[in-house]
Structure 1
């Protein structure tokens, strides 16, 4: 189990090589094992409460603090800690270790804190660890003192805890050279005691007294350098020894602090201790866990001058069921000391001192005191701190009146009571120098802001029923810190009434987003604790987030405690990760962008309309629909689409000679088998040109267009082509016949005649041949295209 120095040197060299690689793979290795440690900053490794039977093999090499407490480890070996060359603190308390060889830690040269308390240790080797500052071996099963003379060389040791069952006079001689700050001696299981002078050179001495009260350890105790003595498990016989020990000025000249834990005595024994301490050089006395004591009707106590400055009695219940409690209250109230603490004692009342008191600090927490405490009490003028938490106070007005005569009072703790304030008619009267006030965990509403000390600097109102902060309250000019956590506030309050506010705690409320007043009035605020609120992630929250991003305000617990709650789709997202466009949140910018987009869209539409002559087409459609509507109303029978002509001819006036002398004579024969509609002879007088065009096109089987450069320059020809094409699509037929009289260059056709370009590109047209030999075929094809049997009409225009 013990390794030599060569093994240690080899181990150190291996560690230097593997450390770098181990840092990268330690997490992977950890997850692959059954027990997974929690590593903080890569230095502290916690394996406590893991039901471990042995030291884990995967402890990170960089560990400086290793916690293995509260497990079932029974054995430890040098190999368990060989790789932990940087370990400074090792906690092995509350395990099942039986043997300890200090050679195990010879490779841990930086080890300073070693806790092996609450194990089953029976033996320990004599190999000192010179680097140790804290060594705790208390609450074990050692028969003799587990250390030998070699441990006198551990000059760095400041804390030492020992557990022993046998004491001889020479057992502690090796401690004479150590400059200890704290020595803990567990003598509870002491079974053998060789009486003699016990000399300890330590500032703080804690002794767990032996269960066998026949061992008079205190009688042999000599503590010339000890300032604080802590005694636990005090029996009645120990009280006699203690009261004999304390007045001996030669043995305890430097003793100033005395603490007594788990004291078993009655009221008489307590008075014996108090009177002895009162007359000794002790300055601070603490008595805790004294059980229940029945206070008698009468008793004696000499309030002479004393060195005692503070008295603390806690977890010791005083019962006065069969006696008058006034003498007990008078005993404590008239003590001319500066600090008095009586907590968890069942007190229901406390008298006002009968004369001007020296009290500067009073703590009556965890009792049953009511609003009757210190009524009209004018003798606490030196009191600076008053702790009354966990009592049964109900009236905040009464509390303020209680403190009014306390001119020196600076701190008042009224937390965890039943306080309310409903009387808005009368003003509260607080001590004029009250700077710090704790009213947390009461039943206060927003009316509490009308009953606060004007000079208050630190105010705690967390865990109440505050819904809002009224705007008509008196300004608290000196207030620097206010705690409003765990209330019902729905808005982040402004600071108009708190001009000097530096720290605001409003976590765990119903805050969704800060008010605009907050940004304008809280310029002096330095820290804000607003986590764990149901934030609404919208445009309003962006300014709040920017406070942290720009360093204008420190948000405590940012960003982990600041999460989106509304809307539901964003619930759980951290405010730090919430982003929204500036344009969406800026109304002016948004309207400007919309206007620009609309104007650009309108301009684009107008441009496209004029570029493609859409107004012209709309005008034509309007005229066509108007004609159709009038025709429908005046002559419904015209909608039978009875044809009167084989073809309607559209042409330019410049081409009229060819149409009249060539086209029409070759199509119309004397037998009248083909009838041609020509505007000069078939337009009806009195009708508009548009009406005549539409009427002629509808009465004709086909529409013939004589195309030439002159045609594309004629506005009316374009009208006729448009209406004819529209009629074509309305009848689902091919009623257009194009005759190319002369070649038309593409560039000659105006841009608005895109319909003509499309027709010429997609439809077959007849080209007028200059060669007479080819004209016969031309006429034949044209007649075939328009040849149809028309119904007979009595009158043809």
Structure 2
């Protein structure tokens, strides 16, 4: 095929197919509810097209689309969510939004818009959430939000509005409940500049504005429940002026984090304002205000939640927290607390955050918190725990102790925590579990012990955790597990043993995993498991009949060989992760024991050989619906053709060496929805024409990121898009070919019938002439004759030949004659014998009778003799009529009639007449070596 044809681009796409450039489509194209299109991070400079008209969720974020025109979108009546954020958009033509009137959520965040024009949002009558944050908006047209009657949430943060009056147009939407106007360079907020009538706002965020004044002189926020003025003010000089204490009495949550006000003004903010409904207060990052001052004024009578992060608090005393007796949640996270006194006053406390501090020990600080349910002590410096540290915390549900330096767990440490459900001890220095969990923690459901220094798990280490659901032992140094170590965990559903030093010897005994009848998930990845046997004597997972997920990928030394019965006993297995194990072969019986498997991940292996994976591997798992086999050195997917994977819906085979995807493979996967072939070595010729057309036109299967696929062969097209192949030049019109073939067959049938009916003898004559010509050409190379004459006669005239011809010509005159019955070579074809007899004789004598004229073979003999006469231009043919045959009776046999007209001939004398003259003339004809004129002079009495 010429390169010119190969390099022609395909530019025609159909709207009803998955042809949207590089985008991922989730859901059926004919679905009105779940169709989602993801086009983020594609480098688009224009809106991709065509967008499926029934799309409900469209994400075109993180692209380079600077301008959006009306024609970029067709009518998308079903569209509910549109994300155009982070796409460099600086201009949107008015009227564009009219193409998606049912839109509910519109995200235009982090673009370059400078103005909200009157027609930008026109038509969005159903819009509820609008994000315009992170733009460069300086102005908003007066009626820009006029049609947004259902808007509830508007985010205008990180723009350049500068004056609160510029926000007024958005308030024309009467139903607006949440307004974000942080980081807009607002230096003054005065309620009269925003509105003089009551607003429906329930949440307003002013954060990160350089406010020097915050004034509310009218009751414009009667429904406000959330107020955020964090990081506002300049140089600790912001003026707080609420002319009526009751103006903010509906606020339930207040954020004053890093607000720039003097220490003495905290009284004005918190005590000169009526906070009757306030129950959540965040006053973090006020480092210039004393902790005692903060708690003194912050702990209002109705306050339930107080957050004091990043305030450089070093000590927590009883006096400090005396006013906070009604608190249910207290957050001291990310401070510098090294000591904490007994918290006697906080009898109602349920949640306590002390993470990211400098605590080295607990010291009975929590014994007076009988209602405590959540305690976070993570990321401190705690090294030692005592039996009284968590005494009396009978209601505690969650305890976080991760990222400390704990090395030992005393047997009595958890003795009172009968309701504890979640315990996180990861990232410590625990060497052994000892008796810490024996007959303790009957309610525990989650135990996390990651990133410790455990090396061995002993039998009955977890005997007291009868209700445990998740046990995470990942990232330790475990290399030995005793038999029945988990046998008491009857309700365990998830066991994590990843990133340890587990080998095949560690799990050789099936009893290691016994006693867990409800285990659903087992993680063994990133260990050092390997096998040398083809078949294991004792498969390790034989006792895990309920296991549904097995993760064994990324073994550090590589398994290389997976025993054929490794998965024996896993009759409920549904998901298997087996990537990065350096596997080079899968035995056909590998998945015989896992008939329910629907997810299989085999990426980053070494299946380079043709026989590494065969179709038989998949026969035991007909329910497989997702197969991931990326980066596995595979150069063909033909092993899937006869695999009977009729339910496979997702196939990811990226970063292999696949060059051709044939039609048979595609047809063998009838339910395939997602096909990922990124970074393969495609051949750009007609072998892939079907795949390309199918990928572009299929309305069921989506080939993910098709436009990123490039050619590897031929070299002249390397790195070019695979879509540069002109598939139309490869497309053979089978209908036309079938029509043409049928036409040819009909015409040939008619022609053959016509020839046979009307030209049968002509064709037959031409054939024998051609055969004679070939034979004559060969004989001309030879010299001399074997016979003097070849006798052509009918078998019924053989008595005359024997009684008359032979005695006179051979016996008396000494001529050497060639006769059928005597001189033809047995076993040789008759035609070959006739040709050999004629061309081996100087003359051919034809004995003409009625029987002769009716004989097919006699006709062939005279035809061949006639051709020799024509070719050599010598009289080599002698006609003898043994019977009187009128000329008109020769007409059916017109070739003899022509010969009679052109040549002299002999007649056998009638009965009673003298035959000596006949024999004399025949002898003279046989002796003649010149042309026909000389012979004619020698013969007389014959008809001309």
TM range (shorter): 0.5 to 0.7
Residues 545-579 of structure 1: CA distance to partner in whole angstroms, max 9, x if unpaired?
422589xx99998323379979976698779889x
* Pick aligned residue for 1:251 from 292, 296, 302: 302
Unpaired runs of 5+ residues, structure 1, are 1-24, 579-611, 613-638, 750-756, 791-797
Cα 1:82/1:567, change in 2 over 3 Å: closer
Cα 1:555/1:381, change in 2 over 3 Å: farther
Separation in 2, partners of 1:267, 1:764 = 143
Cα 1:263/1:97, change in 2 over 3 Å: farther
Separation in 2, partners of 1:411, 1:188 = 44
Separation in 2, partners of 1:759, 1:243 = 138
The yes-or-no answer on 1:701 pairing with 2:738 is no
* Pick aligned residue for 1:326 from 384, 399, 409: 384
Separation in 2, partners of 1:685, 1:497 = 77
Residues 722-741 of structure 1: CA distance to partner in whole angstroms, max 9, x if unpaired?
9x879979x99989637485
Q: Secondary structure at the match of 1:174?
A: coil
The yes-or-no answer on 1:547 pairing with 2:615 is no
Separation in 1, partners of 2:835, 2:222 = 130
The Cα shift of 1:339 comes to 0.5
* Partner of residue 186, structure 2: 142
Cα 1:789/1:428, change in 2 over 3 Å: same
Cα 1:503/1:653, change in 2 over 3 Å: closer
The yes-or-no answer on 1:475 pairing with 2:561 is no
Separation in 2, partners of 1:509, 1:764 = 93
The Cα shift of 1:651 comes to 1.9
Cα 1:172/1:473, change in 2 over 3 Å: farther
* Partner of residue 551, structure 2: 461
The Cα shift of 1:428 comes to 2.3
The yes-or-no answer on 1:81 pairing with 2:140 is no
Separation in 2, partners of 1:363, 1:759 = 117
The yes-or-no answer on 1:737 pairing with 2:877 is yes
* Partner of residue 492, structure 2: none
Cα 1:425/1:705, change in 2 over 3 Å: same
Contact 2:230–2:258 (Cα < 8 Å) also in 1: yes
Residues 212-241 of structure 1: CA distance to partner in whole angstroms, max 9, x if unpaired?
561426853876545655554353736434
Cα 1:644/1:513, change in 2 over 3 Å: closer
* Partner of residue 443, structure 1: 527
* Partner of residue 337, structure 2: 270
Cα 1:75/1:768, change in 2 over 3 Å: same
* Partner of residue 321, structure 2: none
* Pick aligned residue for 1:175 from 215, 218, 221: 221
Q: Secondary structure at the match of 2:222?
A: helix
Cα 1:699/1:161, change in 2 over 3 Å: closer
Contact 1:535–1:564 (Cα < 8 Å) also in 2: no
Query: Size of the alignment, in residue pairs?
Result: 664
* Partner of residue 191, structure 1: 237
Residues 459-506 of structure 1: CA distance to partner in whole angstroms, max 9, x if unpaired?
36265336647525563466565555666666598665457x575352
1:242-641 map, 5 Å: 242-244=294-296, 250-252=301-303, 255=304, 259=307, 261-266=309-314, 270=337, 276=343, 279-286=346-353, 290=356, 293-295=357-359, 301-312=365-376, 317-319=379-381, 325-327=383-385, 331=389, 336=394, 337-342=396-401, 345=403, 347=405, 349=407, 351-352=409-410, 353-357=413-417, 358-365=419-426, 367-369=427-429, 372=432, 377-378=437-438, 379-389=440-450, 391-392=451-452, 398=457, 402-414=461-473, 418-422=499-503, 423-426=506-509, 427-428=511-512, 432=516, 435=519, 437=521, 439=523, 442-443=526-527, 445=529, 450=540, 454=544, 459=549, 461=551, 463-465=553-555, 468=562, 471=565, 475-476=569-570, 497-498=593-594, 501=596, 504-506=599-601, 508=603, 516=616, 518-520=618-620, 522=621, 525=623, 528=626, 530=628, 532=630, 536-538=636-638, 540-548=640-648, 558-561=673-676, 641=783
Cα 1:408/1:696, change in 2 over 3 Å: closer
Cα 1:681/1:59, change in 2 over 3 Å: closer
* Partner of residue 258, structure 2: 209
Separation in 2, partners of 1:207, 1:440 = 47
* Partner of residue 240, structure 1: 292
Cα 1:666/1:744, change in 2 over 3 Å: farther
Residues 114-147 of structure 1: CA distance to partner in whole angstroms, max 9, x if unpaired?
1111233332234522232332112333334465
Q: Secondary structure at the match of 2:220?
A: helix
Cα 1:46/1:266, change in 2 over 3 Å: same
Separation in 1, partners of 2:897, 2:315 = 125
* Partner of residue 118, structure 1: 158
Separation in 1, partners of 2:352, 2:131 = 32
* Pick aligned residue for 1:96 from 133, 136, 141: 136
Q: Secondary structure at the match of 2:674?
A: coil
Contact 2:108–2:132 (Cα < 8 Å) also in 1: yes
The Cα shift of 1:419 comes to 1.8
TM-score, scaled relative to structure 2? 0.55
Separation in 1, partners of 2:889, 2:575 = 90
The Cα shift of 1:713 comes to 6.9
Contact 2:648–2:669 (Cα < 8 Å) also in 1: yes
Separation in 1, partners of 2:565, 2:873 = 82
Separation in 2, partners of 1:692, 1:100 = 110
Cα 1:744/1:172, change in 2 over 3 Å: farther
The Cα shift of 1:200 comes to 5.1
CA RMSD of aligned residues (A): 6.1
Residues 400-424 of structure 1: CA distance to partner in whole angstroms, max 9, x if unpaired?
8654542211023455652232224
Residues 94-116 of structure 1: CA distance to partner in whole angstroms, max 9, x if unpaired?
23334556643113223332111
Contact 1:93–1:117 (Cα < 8 Å) also in 2: yes
Separation in 2, partners of 1:763, 1:382 = 125
* Partner of residue 8, structure 2: none
Moved more, 97-106 or 86-95: 97-106
Residues 726-770 of structure 1: CA distance to partner in whole angstroms, max 9, x if unpaired?
9979x9998963748558999999xxxxxxx99999999858598
Contact 2:565–2:590 (Cα < 8 Å) also in 1: no
Contact 1:160–1:184 (Cα < 8 Å) also in 2: yes
* Partner of residue 659, structure 2: none
Contact 2:818–2:841 (Cα < 8 Å) also in 1: no
The Cα shift of 1:361 comes to 0.6
Unpaired runs of 5+ residues, structure 2, are 1-46, 52-59, 317-335, 476-497, 532-537, 651-667, 703-759, 761-780, 910-916, 932-944
Bigger RCO of structures 1 and 2 (CA < 8 A, at least 6 apart)? 2
Q: Secondary structure at the match of 2:86?
A: coil
Separation in 2, partners of 1:376, 1:169 = 58
TM-score, scaled relative to structure 1? 0.64
The Cα shift of 1:710 comes to 2.1
Cα 1:715/1:683, change in 2 over 3 Å: same
Residues 262-309 of structure 1: CA distance to partner in whole angstroms, max 9, x if unpaired?
453447653678965982534234466x4xx44457866242233221
Cα 1:92/1:733, change in 2 over 3 Å: farther
Residues 415-451 of structure 1: CA distance to partner in whole angstroms, max 9, x if unpaired?
5652232224554267857645463753264789826
The Cα shift of 1:360 comes to 0.8
Cα 1:660/1:91, change in 2 over 3 Å: same
